[in-house]
Structure formats: structure tokens, C-alpha cells
Structure 1
Amino acid sequence: MIEVKNLHKGFNGVEILKGINTSFHPGKTSLIIGQSGSGKTVFLKSLIGLHTPEKGTIAFDGKINTEFTTEEKRQWRQEIGMVFQGSALFDSQTVEENVMFPLKMFTKQPEDEMLDRVNFVLQRVNLENSNSKFPAELSGGMQKRVAIARAIVMNPKYLFCDEPNSGLDPQTAIVIDNLIQEITDEYQITTVINTHDMNSVMEIGEKIVFLKNGKKAWEGSNKEIFKTDNEAVVNFVYSSNLFKKVREAYLQEK
């Protein structure tokens, strides 16, 4: 579980995050949404320790990350999986080498044990027999699945995804969404996704945190977002006619 209390963060005297309070739970797929400039990228980077807050705390299973000892920080880093927006695969390395990279960095396992783990997670993301391929030989969706495999190869407690559907066609995006949700549920991972994809919001948003001007303007589930009368949320999420019609149909049924 991740607990965020009164989080403030700024740069060069400009406050970006303005007292955010929220929490993210194991086995749940949580989404951070908001307009460009709302603070969601700074928020995600704060969660993974790339930014240090000026005020407030972020606690992982009750332990505040800025108070970790050197050993606790090392252990915490091993418990985090990250899927970057552009997949961030090493072009000169094969799929197998990309996925094995965290194991070589953080563990002293024998090569055969690492390979067993790599093959297991590749099978889990439906990429078995792709070990020897290079990223350039893969489609965008396959590259994203390799990135997910690499993110879960250390069996993380926390999974962070930055715009995982960026650049993907709608059908592939749905496949990635479903895969992330399945893995989250299967391994009871605390998953946090930074996204602008409203299909993701509607499909896998078990918890949604909506940021506006650096503040938490609303939070709830994808079911509750249909019913909200929060003007900022309605204007952001239902800006397209399609989602307006979906919401109207949902409210009529109720």
C-alpha cells in the first residue's frame, strides 16, 4: 500500500503539487489523470523517488521513503517495477537481455535461474520464443509487453506505468490494459498508471485520481466517474461526444 499525505513539490519557486492526499492499494489498478500541466508527471516521479517533496510524505507499507536507510532504499528499489512511456528498451540487446537486465543488476542468481525467470515472464506476457529478437524487430505492442515483462521480472510489490498506451492503436492498447490489470490482480501488485487514455479510465480504472492545477480535484472508481457532478471531471473526461453518450446512457439506466 502507498499512502500520500499533504504532498507538496515545486521547482524554482513555482509550486507544482499542492497538498495531495491519496492512497493506492495492492491488487488494484489506479490511474492518475489530468490535463497537461496538472502535475501528474511530477506526482508519478515523486512516487518513484525521482523527486523529493518539500512537504508531506509518501509511505510504502507504512515506511516513509525519505526516511529509508541505505539498505531499506536498496530493498525498496528492487520492489519497484517501471514501464516507461517509450518502453525504454536497449536497442542493442535482445529481448532476453532486456528482461534479464534487472536480475543481473540487483541479484546474484545463477544464469540458469535468471533465464528460467525470464522465460516465465515472457510466457506470462505471451512472448515466448521471442528471446533472441531485438526491439527493432518487434511491433510497438510487443515492445510494450517486453517492457512489462522486464518490469515484473523481479516480482515487484509496486508497478508504475507512464503512459503505457502511448503510440499504440486502440486494439493493442486494450490488450496492454488487460495485461496490466491481469498481472496486478494475479500477483496483488500495487499498480499506478499515469495516463491520458480515457478508454483505460473506463476499462481498468479501479481507482482514479484526477489532478487539476497540482491539486487532487476528485478521486473514485470508473463506475463512480459516470455519476460524478464534479464539473472539472465532467469537462475533462467527457469532452468527446462518444463518452458523453456513454455517460448519458449510463445515467438513464440508473
Structure 2
Amino acid sequence: MIEVKDIHKGFNGEQILKGITTTFERGKTNLIIGTSGSGKTVFLKCMLGLFTPEKGSICYDGATYSDLSTEEQRDLREQMGMVFQGSALFDSMTVEENVMFPLMMFTKQKKEEMLVRVNEVLARVNLENSNNKLPSEISGGMQKRVAIARAIVTRPKYLFCDEPNSGLDPRTAIVIDNLIKEITEEYDITTIINTHDMNSVMEIGEKIVFLKFGNLEWEGDKSQIFKTDNEAVTEFVYSSNLFKKVRDAQLKGL
């Protein structure tokens, strides 16, 4: 679980986050949504420890980040997995080498032990026998699955995903959404997903935090977001034609 309490963060005199308080539960897919400039990326980077809030605190399973020593903060960051927008794979490395990279960086395992773990996570994301392929030799959806395998290879307690469906077709995006949800439940991870994809909201939005101009405007789940009368949320989600159709269908069934 990650508990965020009254977080403030600004740059060059401009306040980006204006007192956000919320909780992200373990074993659930927690989504952060909002328009460009709402503060989603800054919020995510604060939770990753890349930005230091000027005010407020972030607690990871009871441990307040700002109270930890430098070594303890480093140990905590090693418990975080990250799926980057666009996958961010190393072009010159094979699939196997990309997934093994965090193990080489953060563990002292022998090569044979690392390879066993790499094969485990590749099998989990349905990429058996892809070890020796380069990123350029596989599809965008497969690249995303490699990125997920790399993010979970160290058995993280916290998984952060920044626009994991960026650049994917709708069918492949659903596959990635479901894979992230399955892994979250299987490994009992606290998963936080930064997204603008309303399909993801409808598929896996167990906890949704909606930001507007650095404020927490609304929070709830994928069933509650259909029924909210919050105008800012309604305006945002109605930008998706698919979301509008689904919402209208659900309301007719009430």
C-alpha cells in the first residue's frame, strides 16, 4: 500500500501538485487519469522518489520515504518496478539481456540463477523462446510485454506504469491491461498506472484518481465513474466516444 498525504510540488514558482491525499491499495490496479498538465507525471515521479515534495509525505507499507536514510531509500527504490512509455528497451540488447539488466544492476546472483528468473518472467508474459530476438525484431505489443517482464523480474512490491498502452492498437492494449491486472493480483503488487486511455479505465480501473490542475478532483472505481456528476470528470471521460456509448448503455440498464 502507498499512502500519499497532502503532497505539494512546484517548479520555478509554479505549483504543480496542490495538496494531494489518497491511498493506493496492494493487489489492485490503481489508475491516475487527467488531461495534459494535470500533474500526473509529476505525481508519479514523486512516488518513484525522483522528485522530492516540498510538503507532505509518501508512505510505503508504513515506511515514510522522507524519514528513511539514503541507503534505506535506495533499498526501497529497488523494490519498485517501472514500465516506461514506449517500453524504453535497449535497442542493442536482446530480449534476454533487457530483462536480465535489473538483476545485473541490483543483485549478486550468478548468471545461471538470473537466466532461470528471466525465463520464468518471459514465460509469464507469453514470450517463451524470444530470448535472442532484438527489440526491432518483435512487435510493439511484444516489446511492451518484454518491458513488463523486465519490471517484475526483481519481484518488486510496487509497479509503476507510465502510459503502458501508448502506441498500441485497441486489441493489443486490452491484452496489456489484462496482463498487468493479472500480474498485480498474482504477485500481490501495489500497481499504479498513469494513463489517458479510457479503455483501461473501463477494463481494469479498480481505483481511479482524477487530477485537475494539480488537485485531486475525484476518486472512485470504474463503476462509480459512470455515475458521477462531477463536471470535470464527465467532460474528461466524454472525450472518449467508446466511453460515452458504454456509459449510456449502463445508465439505460439501471
Report the TM-score, using the length of structure 2 for normalisation: 0.98
Alpha-carbon distance between aligned partners in 1 of 2:161 and 2:237, rounded to the nearest angstrom = 20
1:169 paired residue number: 169
Q: Taking every aligned residue pair, what percent have the same amino acid on both sides?
A: 75
Q: Does 1:44 align with 2:44?
A: yes
Q: Does 1:25 align with 2:25?
A: yes
Off by >4 Å, runs of 4+ in structure 1: none
CA deviation vs aligned residue, 1:89-124 (integer Å, no higher than 9, x gap)? 111111111100010111111111100000000000
Structure 2: unaligned runs, 5 residues or longer: none
Alpha-carbon distance between aligned partners in 2 of 1:61 and 1:173, rounded to the nearest angstrom = 30
1:144 paired residue number: 144
Alpha-carbon distance between aligned partners in 2 of 1:21 and 1:14, rounded to the nearest angstrom = 20
2:125 paired residue number: 125
SS of structure 2 residue aligned to 1:209:
strand
SS of structure 1 residue aligned to 2:235:
helix
1:65 paired residue number: 65
SS of structure 2 residue aligned to 1:227:
coil
What pairs with 1:70-89 in structure 2 (closer than 5 Å)?
A: 70-89=70-89
Structure 1: unaligned runs, 5 residues or longer: none
Alpha-carbon distance between aligned partners in 1 of 2:244 and 2:168, rounded to the nearest angstrom = 23
SS of structure 2 residue aligned to 1:225:
coil
Alpha-carbon distance between aligned partners in 2 of 1:176 and 1:240, rounded to the nearest angstrom = 19
CA deviation vs aligned residue, 1:207-246 (integer Å, no higher than 9, x gap)? 0000001000000000111111111111101223432232
AA partner of residue 82 (structure 1): M
Alpha-carbon distance between aligned partners in 1 of 2:64 and 2:183, rounded to the nearest angstrom = 26
Alpha-carbon distance between aligned partners in 2 of 1:241 and 1:48, rounded to the nearest angstrom = 33
Alpha-carbon distance between aligned partners in 2 of 1:204 and 1:27, rounded to the nearest angstrom = 12
SS of structure 2 residue aligned to 1:43:
helix
2:12 paired residue number: 12
Report the TM-score, using the length of structure 1 for normalisation: 0.98
2:185 paired residue number: 185
Deviation at 1:77, TM superposition (A): 1.6
Paired positions, count: 254
Alpha-carbon distance between aligned partners in 2 of 1:83 and 1:240, rounded to the nearest angstrom = 24
Q: Does 1:234 align with 2:234?
A: yes
